Structure 1
Amino acid sequence: MIKIITGLFFLLTSSLLAQEQTVGFKLNDSTTLSFTTKPFDPSHKKFQYYDETHPYSIDGKPIFGTDANMPKHELVKAILQINETEYNLQVDTMYDPGIEKENMHRFKIIKTGPMLSLKARFSDGAGGYLAEWVIIIGGKSIRTMLTNDELAYSYFADY
């Protein structure tokens, strides 16, 4: 009986975990960046729409990553690892990021004294957006920018 319950738990856990997908990039010899996405589940969410068909907020927060459509994927975790230290990056309200191994050029890290700046461009086609995090080495990280303003792309033009 215990083997049956353990087997069912493994199947259910594997099935849930199989929905998540993690893509990682090696930015340099000591730094990796990984993103985990999962299919977007609209149940138990509150949406606001304009013209009754185009969502612009989920649970009262703006949607980044869609072109006025329902998101297909949700970014659930981002981790920047430098040597043995991991920094969890804020990813709420980030959808349909279009992260694939071929898109490594969309991420740039800049060191300024004891701090790092991580700049990122996300898109799966329409609905592109930009994010920036500041990381204090040995400390914490904070997302300092999340925008889909096309004028902000000039801020990221150096990469």
Structure 2
Amino acid sequence: MKIVLSIILTVLTIQSSFGQVATIQDPDGWTNVRKSPDGTSEIIQRVYENEVFWYDSEETDQEQKWISIYIPKNDYSLGKSEPGYIVGFIHKSRLLPLEKLQGYTGNDFTFKYELGDFDSTNRIIDKQDGKWISAIDGRPVWGTDGNFPKTQVDNIKVIIDGQEIEIHEVFYSDIYECDNEISIYKNGETYFAHQWNSDGAGAYEIVWVLDKNGLKQRLVGTII
């Protein structure tokens, strides 16, 4: 039952098997996304430097020059449209995998969750088959496989160059089972906080993209 439920919940939330997260490297600061893997194909979107998206990591091991990418439909992975992304192609030379960025080890950037026990008080809980949780307050439940979450995020503390950056509750009220084991990367003046979270079965990936002006993007997805 849990295997079937996991598949159902994945379809209800977002994403499928994308492999990895990347941004772009392009002297223009942006890259055209093509409908087909061809430089003359229709341009369907642009991605800009320090925007993150998923890509098919298996294609990077092949000889083709174009790689398929999956661009979220909004900058913060909010909502439940199906699917929650558009598919296109960029030239492989423009791809910059997140793990290829400079790992950050300085002391002018802080990103930390303030965690607490899950509190169901005054929350609207939707259930699948009357048993398995499918939504909380009308939003996806990232981090569980249908059970009640054990932990929630009460706040996020972000400091850049001594300045505290406010993160609105809407951006962390749907993520659960978090910890503070976070990989930090930096590209120019932009920081990326990346991690995997789960209750053991409901694994999901999250990337926070920030600079001194605030939160630029939140990418949330599930790998099957």
Question: Could you say which TM-score interval applies, normalised by the shorter chain?
Answer: 0.5 to 0.7
For 1:93 and 1:82, the matched residues in 2 are separated by 24
Asked if residue 32 in structure 1 is aligned to residue 110 in structure 2, the reply is: yes
Kindly state the Cα deviation for residue 131 of structure 1 after the two structures are TM-superposed: 1.0
1:92 aligned partner: 173
1:58 aligns with 2:132: no
SS in 1 for 2:209: strand
Aligned to 1:108: 183
Once residues 105 and 197 of structure 2 are traced to their aligned partners in structure 1, the CA distance between those partners, rounded to angstroms, is 17
Question: How much has 1:58 moved relative to structure 2?
Answer: 0.6
Task: Say if 2:203 and 2:223, in contact at 8 Å, map to a contact too.
Answer: no
Moved over 6 A (4+): none
- d(CA) in 2 for partners of 1:65, 1:96: 6
Q: Distance in 2 between matches of 1:142 and 1:122?
A: 21
Contact 1:27 1:33 in 2 (8 A): no
Shift, 1:68, TM fit: 0.7
C-alpha distance in structure 2 between counterparts of 1:29 and 1:70, whole Å:
36
Greater relative contact order: 1 or 2 (C-alpha under 8 angstroms, separation 6 or more)? Answer: 2
Unaligned stretches of 5+ in structure 2?
1-103
What is the distance in 2 between the residues matched to 1:37 and 1:117?
A: 20
The one-letter code matched in structure 2 to 1:123 is: S
**Number of equivalenced pairs:** 118
TM-score (norm 2): 0.47
One-letter code of the match for 2:184?
Answer: I
TM-score scaled by length of structure 1: 0.64
Aligned-CA RMSD value: 2.1
Q: Which has the higher helix share?
A: 1
Contact 1:131–1:143 (CA under 8 A) maintained in structure 2: no
